Amino acid sequence: MNALPLISGLDLDGTFAWLPTGPRRVRDFLADARALAERLPAGGALLNLCHDRYRFAVGFAAGLLAGKVSLQPASQSAETLRRIGDDFPDVVCLCDGDFDTQDLPRCDFPDLSAADPGQVADIPRISSDRVAAILFTSGSTGLPQPHRKTWGRLVANGRAEAAALGLDRTPHVLVGTVPVQHSFGFESTFLLALHGRCAFWAGKPFYPQDIAAALDAVPRPRLLVTTPFHLSTLLASGIELPAIDQLLSATAPLSSTLAAEAEARSGAPLDEIYGSTESGQLAHRRTTAGAEWTLLPGIRLEQDADRTWACGGHVEGRVPLSDRIELLPDQRFLLHGRHTDLINIAGKRTSLAYLNHQIAAVPGVVDAAFFLPDDEAPDGITRLTAFVVAPTLDSRRLLAALRQRIDPLFLPRPAIFVDALPRNSTGKLPRSGLQALYAQKVQHGGR
């Protein structure tokens, strides 16, 4: 049996995580995982709903030791739980706080203070071809879909990211604003700890003052793992930040303007990750250095006409990509937007990504998103809608500014002003949320 260690690059007395009470060694973590594994109910699936990143890690490892697969939906809505219950009838939910698991059986995270680190003599090994986790897409373009991840590919993923970012040479302490259940948070705050020699902060800070406090609670060098939405909110707060040594962003396109501001304010280089739940992380770039992406070690891209597939390295099989990609020499490429983002009106073409970039750049716009509804107007033409958070603007001033940036054919009809967009915890905008907002504000005439 080809087996790989649960943790690599650290010995039993190496620091694995930072809690408010102080550091936790690898042997402490393994003692907790073994104690929890003995208490988990029977069943083959573990829905790990722990918000605390360390407790999630303990639950994940305990599940591996107990022969369970970790289910990790990006959404924890009632509908998501219902679907998981239907698809995995033996599932049990691991919780570390008040959370309504609907009709699903639950196991509350227990007190593990009696776990004895002195009894840990080695790091367990896991079969490389075993399905260790099932990650679910965010649902930004439809219903969330499950994707199985084997232990060997997860290990390779963590090692590839660490090598690409230079963390295998200089390990950092990871502070993440992204939920660990989400693929980006899972890869960049958990797998990097397991196989990139990086310790992590146990919390999930969201508000700017909480992010600053989390950074201050861990030693340097520090890596802040975040999203464009969280990063923009953090910079807009004006709060003074402790020293940051590296920034990492994903889940949505990052503008060069925001990247430059983040680097100027923090003094740290900012890297961006490209990938998907289906494929895992594929490439990285320093956003301020240019538009080109560089593939992670072992990854290949293959093309046929305008379609691109990812394979090799830690990719499970051959995965089709939803983006339009221009291949370049030396393992590099350019992104030109999603195939589903393309819009054709009266023979002119653009993309939702381009329109979103332009409307977000209008002075006074705090947040915004174009939306292409499924229904058609009586004349057979689908009308673009834009949802806008802009307290100091009105429709006339917004449209006047947009006319300077985009073809009048693509102006929103209508532009709907709202207090906030229905972003999820990673800053993404699921299409279902925009569809519900459209139904409320446009189809039903609500204001």
User: What is the extent of the structural domain holding 254?
Assistant: 3-336
Are 94 and 38 contained in the same domain?
Answer: yes
- C-alpha to C-alpha distance for 61 and 29, rounded to whole angstroms: 9
Amino acid at 179: P
Compute how many other C-beta atoms are within 10 angstroms of the C-beta atom of residue 240: 8
Compare 142 and 410 and report the one with higher pLDDT: 410
Structural domains of the chain, count: 2
Same structural domain, 63 and 211: yes
What is the pLDDT of the chain when averaged over all its residues? 91
| SS3 state at 235 | helix
Calculate ∠ Cα 393-398-403, nearest 5°: 160
Give the CATH number, domain containing residue 418: 3.30.300.30
CB 277 within 8 A of CB 136: yes
Instruction: State the pLDDT confidence band at 424, using cuts at 50, 70 and 90.
Output: confident
Same domain flag for 358 and 314? no
Same domain, residue pair 353 and 312: no
Q: Is the domain of 262 the same as that of 320?
A: yes
Query: Rounded to whole angstroms, how far apart are CA atoms 25 and 195?
Result: 15
- Residue where a domain terminates, one of 336, 365, 384: 336
Instruction: Name the residue type at position 12.
Output: L
* DSSP sequence for 306-343: TEEEEESTT--S-EEESEEEEEETTTEEEEEEEGGGEE
My answer on whether 366 and 293 are in the same domain is no
User: Are β-strands 342-345 and 348-351 bridged in parallel, bridged antiparallel, or unpaired?
Assistant: antiparallel
Mean pLDDT, rounded, for 96-116 = 92
Is 341 part of any domain?
no
Q: Which helix (H) or strand (E) holds 369?
A: strand 367-371
183-212 per-position pLDDT tens digit: 999 999 999 999 999 999 999 999 999 999
Going by pLDDT thresholds of 50, 70 and 90, the confidence category of residue 397 is very high
Neighbours of 104 (CB within 10 A): 17
Q: What CATH number has the domain bearing residue 320?
A: 3.40.50.12780
Same domain, 261 and 354: no
- 337 phi-psi bin (left φ>0, alpha ψ -120 to 50, beta other): left
State the Cα–Cα distance between residues 250 and 273, nearest whole angstrom. 5
One domain for residues 396 and 283: no
Tell whether the model's pLDDT for residue 354 goes beyond 50.
yes
